[in-house]
Amino acid sequence: PPPQQSQPSVPLNQDSLQQRLQALLEGVRNCWTYAIFWQSSYDYAGAAVLGWGDGYYKGEEDKEKAKSKASLSTIAEQQHRKKVLRELNSLISGSTATTDDAVDEEVTDTEWFFLVSMTQSFVNGNGLPGQAFFNSCPVWVTGTDRLANSTCERAKQGRVFGLQTIVCIPLANGVVELGSSEFIIQSSDLVNKVRALFN
Amino acid sequence: AVAVPQARKASLARFLEKRKERVSNT
């Protein structure tokens, strides 16, 4: 197994994860839209699985641009997103009241991508996070062309939802993924920062 | 109805809360 996976993995609780994800995005120079920690575990058949650990959505620097992009999605798509958000809101708050303005606000593409991520998992080296974990090597995909032409479904999906950069950094017990609607060139500083914060 | 695994509820609640803040700030 890759050396990083052979280290004992220390489970992080969700508060601690959230603090680290937030500290990461607030502490770096570039405009990252979100950070997700994919937690490693094993399925019933013993296959390595990366599933949702926690995530922090910061949003886009240019909120007006993000909004105008969201308005390019079809009316039906926006209605669908708002309906899902309303249902999730009810589920969390335990109320069916829909007087919340936030629920009726347009759901941007990157917000939707982040939400959909909560339902995803990656088995045996699949997807960008799986690839990074399996090879113990960061994956850095920048540019709409590279995302669109990637063999990974998540990269293609990211491009469709307005991302220009997706980075996956493997750790002993999972993967930190960062995404941005900006074009961000590779930097070892970020990789070091993630490792220092999470390992 | 939407089924959300318990472990993801905290993330979701936080996302919705932050979204509320973002919307009220614009």
pLDDT of A45-66, one tens digit each? 888 899 999 999 999 877 666 6
Residues of B in contact with A101 (CB under 8 A): 23-24
Copy the structure tokens of residue A115. 């939400």
Q: How far apart are CA A60 and CA A180, in angstroms?
A: 8
Percent helix, strand, coil in chain A (nearest 5)?
Answer: 45, 20, 35
Do A102 and B23 make contact, defined as CB atoms within 8 angstroms?
Answer: yes
Q: Extract the residue ranges of chain A whose pLDDT is less than 70.
A: 1-12, 63-73, 95-103
Q: How far apart are CA A131 and CA A87, in angstroms?
A: 33
Amino acid in position B16: L
- The answer to whether residue A109 neighbours chain B at the CB level (below 8 Å) is no
Q: What pLDDT is attached to residue A13? A: 76
Q: What pLDDT is attached to residue B4? A: 56
ipTM: 0.82
